[in-house]
Amino acid sequence: MSNTPSAARSDAATGNGRERSATSELTAAQRRAVAELIRVSPVADELGRRFADAGHELHLVGGSVRDALLGRLGEDLDFTTSALPEETQRLLQGWAEAIWTTGIEFGTIGAARRGLRLEITTFRAEAYDRVTRNPIVQYGTNLQDDLQRRDFTVNAMAVSLPDHRFSDPYGGLADLAAKRLRTPGTPHDSFADDPLRMLRAARFAAQLRFTVAPEVVTAMTAMAKDLSRITAERIRDEFTKLMTGADPVAGLRLLVDTGLADQFLPELSGLRLEIDEHAQHKDVYEHTLTVIRNAMSLEEDGPDLVLRMAALMHDIGKPATKLVGPDGRVSFHHHEVVGARLTRQRMKALRYPKDVINDVTELVALHLRFYGYGRGEWTDSAVRRYVTDAGPLLARLHKLTRSDCTTRNRRKAAALAADYDALEERIARLQAEEDLAKVRPDLDGNAIMELLGIPPGPLVGQAWRHLKELRLERGPLEHDDAIAELLRWAAERGITPPA
């Protein structure tokens, strides 16, 4: 680098620019915090005065302070206090509209007041056994020790009530302005106490678009296997927050790069080794991340967990189905079938609700059905089946299929988009003629039993499915034609209807 006066002036100007930018960010954060605190102060200050009058400290703390600084404080407020839980409960009596004590064994009392949900926890200075994540609860004696035990510096700030004194012993405000994630103490000690904090770091990277400090990433990589101490349900909850964040791809990359994904979602890391057959991306892993971004761009009413999870899982069957042909081309035949099975297994292991598992699995199974439509081989019957099989997932299937087109070949991308436009127009035309979402046979079960003279049982179901197949194949039948088809089916099976 040149040591000329002009270079020195340039460096100084750049440095001053960074300082001005940082100062501007801090000032903006402080303004946002003031506005948010004014919004909740009628309740927060009332509560603070009650505790102060009883000789106790009360501080708004943790995520509540962070969110106030970000201008996104919600209706849930977290407090810490010098009062023991029983004293907290006494102070809330007659003031709170409701009180709950489900967290009292951890020093937490909950309350509701004027539409706000409050959680008040006694100063903590607990240690962890570092075998499970269960804390050995020990009450602390001061605010600084309480803040030191928290996961990240941006969550280790407090506002005292009712005087609004700001405490930031670990530089959380500067980290918040820099969008940087650090731990109050050493990352190793923080993650050894609670390994879930490693997954939370990836979640904050996704939710808040924060950069994780290098020393934190190093500790996450070294300690990834400690995540095995955490229950599947808690991992699922953090992962769901990551996937519904503003930038899930950033969080997913961090999980893969640190080895955390290998502990609960190894299929994701496995995609890095599988070269995509169309060679439009470096590998299937990069393709998958692009599909997630594409799917997000098509969301209409906020984050759609089912759609994003389907985008994440849609190609996980490729490693098990990879085949290199004599010409060197790579194929993944029936990877959607294998992928659907793997998706169900993985999501069950993570304890996702059954309806979420079923929806994501079905989308993975169906995501390739569209390909081939552009060759002109689809009959109206095939379109009806496509709609019927997708059922209530049709809108999501449209989005997933469109998102899966990541080719860099503009002509090919335009052709695929045009084909799908044509398919959606054709679906709309058929739906105008008949309600495809509610396709039923032209004769119901009662009519089948009466016409064939048979009692309820498996035979009725077989006849019903036969008529439904005809309905999908040929569209609505006239009543007499439907009866004739049923009688023909019965005659082939030796069933003699009543005279």
pLDDT tens column, 364-377: 999 988 876 656 66
Q: Are 254 and 205 in contact (CB under 8 A)?
A: yes
pLDDT number for residue 450: 84
pLDDT band at 329 (very low <50, low <70, confident <90, very high): confident
The structure tokens 């109206």 sit at 380
Give residue 128's pLDDT band: very low, low, confident or very high (50, 70, 90): low
Among the listed ranges 193-207, 281-295, 421-435, which one has the minimum average pLDDT value?
421-435
| Residues 315-321, mean pLDDT to the nearest whole number | 87
Least trusted range by pLDDT, from 98-102, 271-275, 394-398, 422-426: 271-275
Residue 204 CA to residue 251 CA, distance in Å, equals 8
Query: pLDDT-based confidence at 487, cuts 50/70/90?
Result: confident
- pLDDT recorded at residue 104: 92
Considering only 127-136, 149-158, 299-308, 449-458, which range has the smallest mean pLDDT?
Answer: 127-136
Q: pLDDT tens digit string along 335-360?
A: 889 999 999 999 999 999 999 999 99
Q: What confidence category does residue 137 fall into, taking pLDDT thresholds of 50, 70 and 90? A: low
Q: Which residue has the higher pLDDT, 73 or 333?
A: 73
Q: Flag whether pLDDT at 1 surpasses 70.
A: no
Question: Which of the given ranges, 29-38, 243-252, 482-491, has the highest pLDDT on average?
Answer: 243-252
What the block records as the tokens of 396 is 């999501």
DSSP state of 437: G
Is 17-178 in CATH node 3.30.460.10? Answer: yes
Q: 124 forms bridges with which residues in the sheet?
A: 139
Q: Is the confidence at residue 475, as pLDDT, over 80? A: no
Which H/E stretch holds residue 421? helix 410-433
| Residue 375 · residue 321 · CB < 8 Å | no
* % of the chain surpassing 70 pLDDT: 87
CA torsion sign, 337 to 338 to 341 to 347? Answer: negative
Residue 409's CB is within 10 A of a number of other CB atoms, namely: 11
Token match 């069950």: residue?
A: 348
CA dihedral for 230, 232, 234, 235, sign (positive or negative): positive
Residue 3 buriedness (CB in 10 A; 0-12 / 13-18 / 19+)? exposed
Does residue 495 carry a pLDDT above 70?
Answer: yes
- In the predicted model, what is the mean pLDDT of residues 278-300? 83
